[in-house]
Chains A and B, each alone.
Chain A
């Protein structure tokens, strides 16, 4: 089912008699009911004001189209959304609505914020077939409850997004990547923390244990980047030999999309933790492969198929999400970290309100 207007979506949803899989470009590896309700018929950037740093797009608009429009004005989506296709082996075109529904961010999340921090407004069709809106197209808006945050990362379980409004930012004139050869994970995280805690505005902080390199990125105007690169190099030089990699966008794309796991067998998990907990949590994972982003706050983990990673991790502060696995493993372990009972009751209560018939991606979020 691929309606082409919001009104058609509303009518179609109101008439649904069985659950559907809510889908944008289908690149994020979501399984669910056979019938897909697809947003890719609903396309187009409806408003773009570079001087106000605002862009509004219909949910099915290809991400590439949005990024091209921004690029033409020297702007970008600052949260650097990841492309899941290589990691999950999926095809299709990522859509703007899909990025928002899954709160997809990338390395710059650690400094600039996540997709949720840049989402200004949403329009969506709830489980009754009502067209609803929240937020708007201005950067500061506290008019009523922030249902925008609720919708971002709700994976279509509360409603089908039809339009999203985003804050955008200027592209950096240039960037510089500094790599530090470190002896172990502990030293890597300390180096990244030192960079992130410096005044030099680090916009990427990652560590690949296989190469033993911690990477830090700074961006901005050329003279400013040159100055900060010098200062940052000498700061992180205390943790290992530091060298300049140049702008190196390919290094950051590789981290963003977790390229190290693309051609390797096994299940993939992502763990969100307090950065200084990362070495300990990563050790407990007994992983076949690891990649650290967000200064250690995000750990990508490769484990043998079917591994119950949460059992290995035990109690920890944060959450572990299963990203790539067989259908059976997803069913056995669940995609998302189980929530404490009182929190889970609230989430369930909200799903019940927004999708009383349980027709959108049932079971995906519990």
Chain B
């Protein structure tokens, strides 16, 4: 994956930049020794690494503002970083950049149960947002698999989803407001504890902009009252297509389960070996979870089981205890780790219309044979967000390239099927060069025009989202201006 050549002019001014940053940040908030900046050389897309020039860890909105203003004045690119869990390379540095990490800003600023929101600093982790309100039986709905580690800042940047967004939506549907710093240091407030924008919905544009429009320092998040209970049911089928039909029939029946998760044989076996959840031996597994009071759960599961029976499942099992439910979910949430025990893997994230599921799975199987690389499928079936995991050997020359080529074919397949390149991980560098497959030059120009407005010098995370040749003239203009 190509990255732009670092700007030698910027790197030659490292000492001066360091001095200016020291005037606005405490010493321990700046990392400049090469041996230490290496800790920030990559995110969770570990195939790509590059230590940044400097790392700053500000503790307040004011400090973020000072850092950005100085970097803008000095023409230095800034790569914002939450917890570095991006699977798309969203926080991958360049050698001439400053990494701006928000990890030290992790306070809860306000909790308001009457109005059902929490205001936090953006470095707070996803799970600890729920942790701050669960004593009162509330929770923050988006639940990416990395929720133990990932930061709200990154959730906002990537518009993260999770297993339960069929019912609760993704980050953008649960974000009420932000405090954000623009590249020139200007601090703005968008939204708040009230609903909807008074003018253009800029908050909606910020969410999912991959750290290219501003640095979010504080967020107002919608919190919800926990349901009285929840319970999953496991269903095994001996055919992927039948499992797909079952998903469609459940949705059409008027029940809205809180989650419908799908795994194919390779994933089922890997997860079972890892979590011992008692997954059946079959081609396709569905985990369907419903919520409510005990009686409501019973009645919904009864309807769902009735539908499933029409599709001749090889296994149909309601969880009998909280412990069993936890195991069922542990298996699913450990899918990536379990697959990682088999080999290196690349995780994809395309979304397809649910109706295209059988066709897409069949075609992925054919491609797997063509490329000679195994692929496991685990995904959010209710909303069509797929996560094919391609297994490869990073130590085998040529395997990574083969894997990337295979991945690109799968993502194109998703677009051809009426879907998109990425459902919740973001474009980052990983899917950057495929953007022209989904969008016309004019469509991409319209998106880049938005960045022109928020960050005219193209200094914030500049080498992400858009194919390098497409964004080149804008990035070159910045270098020329120095």
Contacts and interface: CB of A to CB of B under 8 A. Distances in A.
Contacts of B199: 336-337, 339, 343-344, 347, 365-366
Nearest to B446: A132
A365 B202 CA distance: 13
Given A343-B188, A354-B449, A365 B200 contact: yes
Given A141-B423, A143-B421, A145-B447, A52 B248 contact: yes
Interface string A321-354: 1000000000000001101101110110111011
A272 B189 CA distance: 16
Interface in B426-477: 426-427, 431, 435, 438-440, 442-444, 446-447, 449-454, 465
A343 B182 contact: no
A319 B247 CA distance: 42
B254 A276 contact: no
A51 B194 contact: no
A298 interface: yes
Given A146-B204, A342-B188, A51 B452 contact: no
A273 B192 CA distance: 9
Contacts of B293: 224, 227-228
Contacts of A61: none
Interface string A281-299: 0000000000000100110
Q: Chain A interface residue count: which class?
A: 35 or more
Nearest to B356: A52
Contact of B114 (A49, A276, A346, A353): A276
Interface in A21-71: 49-54
B296 A132 contact: no
A170 interface: yes
B225 interface: yes
Contacts of A297: 194-195
B475 to A, nearest CB: 17
B192 A317 contact: yes
A129 to B, nearest CB: 11
Given A103-B201, A150-B205, A317 B352 contact: no
A137 interface: yes
Interface in B269-291: none
Contacts of A134: 443, 446-447
B172 A139 contact: no
A193 B453 CA distance: 39
Chain A, interface SS category:
mixed
Contacts of B115: 193, 274-276
Contact of B447 (A50, A144, A199): A144
A217 interface: no
A196 B114 CA distance: 9
A268 interface: no
Interface stretch (B34-42, B157-165, B330-338, B393-401): B157-165
B93 interface: no
Contacts of A365: 199-200
Nearest to B444: A144
A139 B384 contact: yes
Contact of B225 (A126, A153, A198, A273): A198
18 contacts: A52-B354, A103-B201, A130-B442, A133-B440, A136-B418, A139-B384, A141-B419, A143-B427, A145-B451, A146-B209, A149-B201, A170-B256, A197-B225, A199-B225, A272-B194, A275-B114, A339-B198, A343-B188
Interface of A: 49-54, 73-74, 103, 105, 109-110, 113-114, 116-117, 126, 130-134, 136-150, 152-154, 158, 169-171, 173, 190, 193, 196-199, 221, 223-224, 227-228, 272-276, 294, 297-298, 317-321, 336-337, 339-340, 342-344, 346-347, 349-351, 353-354, 365-366
Given A140-B170, A149-B201, A347-B200, 5 more contacts: A137-B353, A146-B205, A199-B225, A272-B198, A319-B194
